[in-house]
Amino acid sequence: MALARSSHPGPVVAVTAICGLLALVAGRGIGTVLVVLAVLAGQLFVGWSNDYLDRDLDLGSGRTDKPVARGHLQPRRVLIAAIAALVAAVPLSLASGVPATVVHLAAIGSATAYNLGLKATPLSALPYAVSFSLLPAFITLGLVHPHWPLAWIMGAAGLIGVGAHFAQARPDVEGDRAQRIRGLPQLVGETMSGIISALFLAAGAAVVAAATRNPIPLVAFVPAVGVAIAKPRPAFWLTIATAAITVLAFVAIGAPYDQS
């Protein structure tokens, strides 16, 4: 149970489920299972490596929700789990082909760069934008006829990723500041992080609405407003709801992944 909590289960499940849904509607068929497993492995690696690398920071910040920082889980066990997840992600990704694998590993690498230090710099949002925008490409490059997704799809995903970054960092802004973390959320503060998160999430939904010429994705504005005004931790779950509604609207509209 402690190992599962250390993986950042909320984001892991949300990202994996959304990618699975997108893979299914993109036409991956039975290959959707392999997409889900590959994304799951990649997300587990990112989550576990984050907890392993941040163990001293979490301890200094008094994070009661971190099993490693509280001594409920040995750091070595988390490290082994992270390595195992990364090793599993490679062959699972290769089932989608080499181009898709390169893109997925690039997304994982971008997230790892965040864990290794970009989180403490003004470039902290960049890995989220890169990693989120590459996930649709991992799906479409694994099709029978591989292709890159439309630019607006990748752009919308990147915007949602930046919104997720501010929402995820928001509950710990003050503790991170005390530990001399100077990422964008720490620089702008907790309140402004909520507003910025909501704006980027709403922008992602607006891009989908504009590109498809359909207002349905704008329903995501409702939870996005909640992100700006809710307390930090409830706002994080509203962030997931906003992203999920945007994706579900995209699927319901039947929007294309490419110009064909």
CA angle, residues 17, 21, 26, in degrees to nearest 5: 145
Q: What is the CA radius of gyration of the chain?
A: 18
Helix, strand, or coil (residue 68): coil
Check: CB of residue 185 under 8 Å from CB of residue 197.
no
pLDDT value of position 70: 74
Q: Tokens in use for 241?
A: 């709801």
CA angle, residues 232, 235, 237, in degrees to nearest 5: 125
Closest C-alpha to 125, from 61, 85, 170? 170
Domain borders along the chain are: 1-120, 150-255
pLDDT value of position 259: 58
Sign of CA dihedral 65, 162, 154, 104: negative
Per-residue confidence in pLDDT tens, the chain, 260 aa: 889 888 899 999 999 999 999 999 999 999 999 999 999 999 999 999 999 998 887 777 666 677 877 777 888 999 999 999 999 999 999 999 999 999 999 999 999 999 999 999 999 999 999 999 999 999 999 999 999 999 999 999 999 999 999 999 998 888 888 888 899 999 999 999 999 999 999 999 999 999 999 999 999 999 999 999 999 989 999 999 999 999 999 998 876 666 55
Report pTM: 0.94
CA torsion, ordered 234, 239, 244, 246, to nearest 10 deg: 140
Q: What is the DSSP letter of 146?
A: -
Closest C-alpha to 132, from 106, 171, 95? 106
